[in-house]
Each structure stands twice: as C-alpha cells, then as structure tokens.
Chains A and B, each alone.
Chain A
Amino acid sequence: MDISRREFTKIGCKVIIGAAAGTVIVESIITNSIAAENSPAQGGYDWEKHFWGYVVDTRKCIGCGRCANACKLENKVPFDEEVYRTWIERYRVKKSSFETREEEVVIDSPDGGIEGFVDDIPAEEIKKAFFVPKICNHCDNAPCVQVCPVGATYTTKDGVVLVDYEYCIGCRYCIQGCPYGARYFNAEKGTADKCTWCYHRITKGLLPACVQACPTGARKFGDLKDHNSEVKKIMDVERINLLKPDLGTKPKVFYVGLDREVR
C-alpha cells in the first residue's frame, strides 16, 4: 500500500486528536459514574441498608415554628431571604354564610411560620383551623430529578433527593418542576437548593433538625426498611395521605389527618 507523506501526516493527526479526545471523554464518564456510585456520607454508613421516610401528623402540629427555625439554623438557610427548606401552613376555614354555601379558606405561612402565627381573624368567624408542616417530599419518582439537564440533582440509594452544588448549573428547571414549591434558588451558590432531610445528620444516626425540634411529635422520621421504626409503625395503623398523589410523584412524606384543602 502506498501512502504519501501528506496522507500519512493526516492519518497520524487524526489518530492523535482522536486518542486525546477519546481519553478525556472516557475519563470524564468514568469519574462521573464513580461519583454516582459512592455514598456522599462519611464514615461507616451504608446507604444500601436504609430507606428513609417522613411522617407528618397534622393533628399534632401547633404552629410554633420551631422546626422551620431549627432548619434555617442547622442548614444555614438565610433568615433574611424568603427561602425555606421547611415551613408551616395555617388553614382557617371560615364559617359559611347560609345563602351562599361557599366556604372561604384562608391559607397563610408568614415567614414560613418561623415566628409563629398571629390571630388576625376573630375566633367566632372561624369554623375550623389547622396547621400543616411542609417539607420536601423526597419523591420516589421525583420530577426535579427528572428535569435536571445535567444530573446535578439525584436520588440517593437510601431515598433522599440531593443537589450536587459543585455540578448544578443554576438553570432553575427543577424549581419549576417541583409541584410542592420545596426548592429555591441559592443566590450565594448560584445553584438550586432544598431540604436534604439533614443528610449530614441522618447518616450519623441523628434525626433531621426539624424532627428534633418539634415539641409535639408532629414530625417523625425513620427507616422504612426497619419494621420497628416509629414511622413504619404509624404507617401500619394510621390512614395515610400524600400531597398531590395524582401527579404520580410518589412522595415519601406521609400525612396523617390531611384535610382536602391542603395541596
């Protein structure tokens, strides 16, 4: 076979460029797949052995706001910005007038409920009222994970939805994709941000800060793989509801005593 010098150089260049580019691409794929295989937690924690779940008993919540406060302190969520990893909603159903049959529901969550709630509607006008703590549902079929264009948000093997702050490009598609308003934009990091169920705590055997701070036991956290865990026991006997179940997100925050007004 005759190869001119010109052609030889050409082929040689192609091989070199191809090899160089190929290595870079393969290497980046390998690094990324390795990153996906390793648990983000430190120490002897095995994420294959757990699958976390969260139970909210709305009947027990008194709207004190200690959970939302503890969360901001624990996770350094700015107090002066309207961003929350967890918050409390207050629902007040007003007495309906005889003629209209229409029920007016007043919903609010001033500053996420951190400072508690003020009685700005006279008690005699209210038919029923209740508080509903809200938090990321760490959905099994999480829309935020689905829509992330670079895979910066992901579900861990123990069932927690996390954001890789080193990888997120800050497009905010996940914030749009979350039906529960659980995500916010972290202006300082330039990335999306959200509740981690205090992943740094639960992987050390501690409770999430909000659960720890709740004085009435309205918030419960535990291992769904452990049949003796408190959350599992509650779920075995109580009637459980989910937020927006029709969206097929398969939330892992399970509600006891959820009213139909709550979305």
Chain B
Amino acid sequence: MMENLIWGYVYPNESEIQWSILIVLYPYITGLVAGAFIASSLYHVFGKKEIKPVARFALLTALSFLLVAMMPLLVHLGRPERAIEIMFTPHLTSAMSGFGYIFSFYLIIVVLEIWLSFREDIVKKALSSHGWKELLYSSLALFSFDISEKTLHDDEKFAKKLAIIGIPSAAFLHGYVGFIFGGIKANPWWSTPLMPIIFLMSAIVSGIALLILLYIVAMKIRKHAIDHKCLHSLAHYLWIFLILDVTLELLEIISMKYESLEEIDIINRLLSEKIAFTFYGVQLTLGIFIPFILLLLVSIMKNRETLKMIMISVSCVFVVIGVFAMRWNVVIGGQEISKSLSGTLTYVPVFFSQEGVLPAIIIFIIPFVILRVVTSILPPWKDMDEENPEHN
C-alpha cells in the first residue's frame, strides 16, 4: 500500500503528511472572512450604494466565519492546551506567531463595525421589547439608548473610519496566511513572494461569491425579491477580482516553468500527476475560467434577470469550489512533493479521525449555524423591510 503512495525517494520522516485537510480549511475560512469584509467595505468605505442591501449581512457573514477560523488549527495542534502561549510568548520571527494578535485585532474591528451599523436597530428593539428580549437588546446596546440624529451621524463617521482600518487589517489577516506558506524556503511549491497576494485575491473572490450565494438563499428563504442591481454589482466586482486572481496564479506557474530552477522536475510532476485534476480542472477551469465567461455574459446580456441570476449562482458555486481547490493545491500539493526533490507522496484523507474529513465538515457547518443565529438576533435586512412594509 505504502509503496503505491510514494514515488521516487522521499526523506524517511516525510512518509506522513503533517498538515491535513483541516489546514486546508483554515486559509479557506479566513479567506471567506476577508472577502466578505472587503465586500461590505465597498459600501461602508467606498460608498457603493448598490451594495447597501448586503453590506450589513456581509459583516455578519465575516463574523460568523471569523469565530470558527481558529477551530481547525486548535483541533490540529498536538498540544492544544498550550495554544494560548502564542499570545503570551509569541516568537516574533515566526510568521505564525502574529496569528493570535492579528486575529484578535480583526475580531474587535468586525464586532465594533457590526455594533455601530446595528446600534440604531438594537436600541429600537430594546425600547420596544419586554422581558428577556429587552435585557438582551439593552445589554447589546450597552445600556446606551441615545439614537439622536447627531449620535447616529457620529456612529456612521466612526464606522467608516473603522472600515478604513478594517480593509488593511482584512488584507493583512489573509495576506499573512499566504506568507505562512510563501515564506517557507524549504518548500519550492510554497516559497514565492506572490503567495500573500494570491491568497488575498482568491480570498476576496471566494468571499464575494459566498456572499452572493448566501444573499440569494436568504432572499429565497424570506420570499423576498432579489435586488438585481446589488447582485449585478457584486457579480461585477467578483469578475474584476477573478481577473486579478487568475493573473497572479498564472504568473506564478509561468515564471516557475520559465525559470526552470532545480525543482522544476518535481514541480512538473506535481502539476501533471499529483494535482493535475484539482489544479487545471477545478482551480483554473471550473473555479476561474467558466465563472469568468459566465459573468462576462451576464454583464453583456440584457433583461432575462432569472437566467442571469442562475448564471451568477452557478459561477459563485464554481468559484467557492475552485478556491477550496486552490487552498488544497497549495497546502496538500506542497506536501505531496518531497523536499528531497526526488519523490512524491500521496495524501489520503481519512474520514473518522481527529484530523479527518468529518471534523472538517463539522467545522465548516458551524459558521452557517452561527450566521443563522446572529441574523435572527440582528436582522440585517432593515432597509428592505422599510421599502416593502408588507413583508414585516
């Protein structure tokens, strides 16, 4: 069995793949967070009014995923009880040591941003409800019930400032995840200065795609008309970021192949045998080229809103699958080549184990549950309800 999984010569200690599907999930989830946040800041910072219907929902999505972002890491650690040491005694030469601080800082920004953009609603609910609900919303309002014009205006100004800090933080949160891989000189498949920016672009792409999907699903559940202007605007941004993403991803491969350094033979073997399907098939074709063409068609087609919506949905499903494949190809692909540059390994996912597929699935379901709970406490659809009071 082992013989078939290993080709050529791998260092004896390499026979076990160290970073499993959970470590694929970690950059995937953080990417969704960063992407959703950046989508919301299109409205909050850049004043893109057409995004407004999903701006608050995007923040809640970012929060829901952010809350589970570190779970795959914790489950993966050999000594999870010592994880807190990364906060108390971070070793600053390690790209990983910033995790605790960057994560916490970002969490604070997202929570504050959410609080400010929901404060008016929270206060109104607190004042109009009774019993435990009153207590819940009063404490969410931090027992401050001032919603005069002036304070709301101040809130908005502060929220904008926060979002301005939030963009570089989101970029940093995910760019740094890319650097965790990109800074490893031992691994020729990881070691590239492009890695942080590739991670960031694919993060934005996956975040916007997920947001579009969740928005469509939420509107279907609420039996509410979809704001096509908003949808098309999001799809447009998705398309632009797809172009940036694919440019960088191809640039990396092309320069690797063109420069043909010592490791090129093993890289070629990785691309043509180990991850050929997930790289060329899923990551590039399904995840980028097909959505690229579909979204291009959407932008030039007139009317036929239902068809366009279906095309956008299909693109988004492909994009989120494609970005998962991208994370897979980086994390698993990088470990399927031996650092001896003379052999390859095969990662065989296990289903039931601490680092198996089952915990990964469970961890990936949790953010959707959190999102469901959070949106019921803080309904993000206020603007819509005001425009269509019959739905209240």
Contact = CB atoms under 8 A, between A and B. Distances in A.
B77 A171 contact: yes
Q: For the complex of A and B, list the 5 residue pairs with the smallest distance between their C-beta atoms, beginning with the closest.
A: A170-B78, A181-B11, A190-B78, A151-B91, A107-B9
Contacts, number: 135
Contact of A83 (B8, B13, B187): B13
A247 interface: yes
22 contacts: A82-B13, A83-B13, A107-B8, A107-B340, A109-B12, A143-B186, A146-B93, A147-B95, A147-B183, A147-B184, A150-B90, A151-B91, A169-B79, A169-B86, A173-B180, A179-B186, A180-B11, A189-B78, A190-B77, A190-B78, A247-B186, A263-B339
A172 interface: yes
A176 B94 contact: no
Given A149-B86, A181-B12, A169 B78 contact: yes
A167 B88 CA distance: 12
A146 B92 CA distance: 9
Contacts of A172: 18-19, 78
Contact of A263 (B16, B88, B99, B341): B341
B85 interface: yes
Given A28-B88, A176-B187, A147 B96 contact: yes
**Category for how many chain A residues contact B:** 35 or more
B150 interface: no
A172 B79 CA distance: 11
Nearest to A193: B13
Given A28-B88, A175-B18, A149 B12 contact: no
Contacts of A145: 93
A263 B339 CA distance: 8
A67 interface: no
Q: Indicate the size class of the contact surface on chain B.
A: 35 or more
B341 A176 contact: no
Contacts of B91: 148-151
A191 interface: yes
Nearest to B81: A169
Contacts of A146: 93-94
Interface in A195-224: none
Contacts of A183: 13
A186 B79 CA distance: 11
B375 interface: no
Contacts of B335: 176
Interface in A144-171: 145-151, 167-171
Contacts of B83: 169
Given A170-B79, A178-B186, A247-B186, A184 B13 contact: yes
Contacts of B14: 181
Contacts of A32: 89
B18 A167 contact: no
Contacts of B95: 147
A83 to B, nearest CB: 6
A178 B18 CA distance: 13
Contact of A167 (B82, B94, B97): B82
A116 interface: no
A7 B50 CA distance: 47
Interface in B58-86: 73, 76-80, 82-83, 85-86
Nearest to A187: B78
A262 to B, nearest CB: 9
